[in-house]
């Protein structure tokens, strides 16, 4: 596969080892949108590029900077093409960058005569925007996915970067947020567009979310709607905000599109 110019803005080509630093940076930016993102370093990407059965493509903008990549592989045991992940810099439109990457890999799988081509949906719900047009259809998995929170404070600490990212996007919100789960808390202070996690504070809390581990898990995985949970008393809010602003901030913290980022490497 050589360089393919799709538009004046995006070009596709095979990933090279020299691309690893940029690919890693794109992954780190992208993974802030998700819960449970795997920690990666340059060695992870070296292994990915080294495997012969992998298909790894990068998308470049008109300044020759990597703005996305696709990682896929051909499982020869089952003659099955597998899309492992499509990662796009969140500053760019996911569908615009991901679609040509998916199309090119899909064409490569067809040329290699893959009997089946699969694309997991837990990794990124935006897959629904690009794969049906390629002839993919949704199937129900018979697998059972279970998740348990054993250390509540550690889980909240891991979520802090995700909540920080969500609060940065909420342009109308500034103040001190506390998320409390069964006696454990994280504090996030937003001022002048910046969000900083606080270990502890005795300042007045502007927006406090109180919930159980069960509801927290369901909200994180997008199984439960945050506003509906508030209406039914499954979570509590302490704030002086109006109901309309409360609902908007809740949806910013717990967007239903948020999925766990699974890792197959």
Using CA atoms, how far apart are residues 123 and 127, in angstroms rounded to an integer? 9
Residues 29-57, mean pLDDT to the nearest whole number? 85
**Lowest-confidence range among 107-116, 131-140, 162-171, 214-223?**
131-140
> Count of H helices and E strands in the chain?
7, 11
Per-residue pLDDT of 173-224, as tens digits, reads 999 999 999 999 999 999 999 999 999 999 999 999 999 999 998 888 777 8
Q: Which structural domains are found in the chain, ordered by start?
A: 4-134 (3.40.630.30), 152-253 (3.30.1050.10)
Alpha helices per DSSP H over 35-77:
42-50
At 192, list the tokens.
Answer: 């002048």
* Integer Cα distance of 195 and 206 in angstroms: 14
């Amino acid at each position: 596969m050589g360089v393919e110019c799709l538009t004046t803005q995006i070009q596709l080509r095979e990933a090279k080892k020299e691309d690893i630093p940029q690919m890693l940076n794109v992954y780190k930016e992208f993974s802030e949108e998700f819960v449970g993102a795997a920690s990666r370093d340059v060695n992870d990407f070296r292994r990915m590029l080294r495997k012969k059965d992998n298909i790894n493509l990068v998308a470049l903008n008109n300044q020759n900077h990597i703005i996305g990549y696709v990682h896929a592989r051909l499982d020869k045991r089952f003659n099955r093409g597998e899309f492992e992940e499509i990662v796009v810099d969140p500053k760019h439109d996911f569908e615009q960058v991901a679609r040509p990457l998916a199309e090119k890999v899909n064409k490569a799988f067809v040329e290699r005569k893959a009997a089946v081509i699969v694309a997991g949906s837990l990794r990124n719900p935006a897959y629904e925007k690009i794969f049906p047009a390629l002839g993919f259809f949704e199937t129900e998995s018979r697998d059972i996915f279970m998740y348990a929170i054993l250390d509540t404070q550690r889980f909240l600490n891991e979520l802090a970067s995700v909540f920080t990212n969500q609060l940065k996007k909420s342009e109308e919100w500034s103040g001190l947020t506390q998320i409390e789960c069964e006696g454990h808390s994280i504090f996030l202070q937003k001022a002048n567009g910046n969000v900083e996690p606080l270990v502890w504070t005795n300042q007045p809390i502007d927006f406090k979310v109180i919930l159980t581990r069960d509801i927290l898990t369901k909200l994180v995985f997008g199984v439960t709607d945050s506003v509906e949970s508030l209406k039914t008393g499954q979570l509590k809010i302490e704030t002086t905000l109006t109901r309309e602003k409360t609902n908007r901030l809740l949806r910013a913290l717990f967007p239903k599109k948020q999925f766990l980022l699974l890792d197959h490497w």
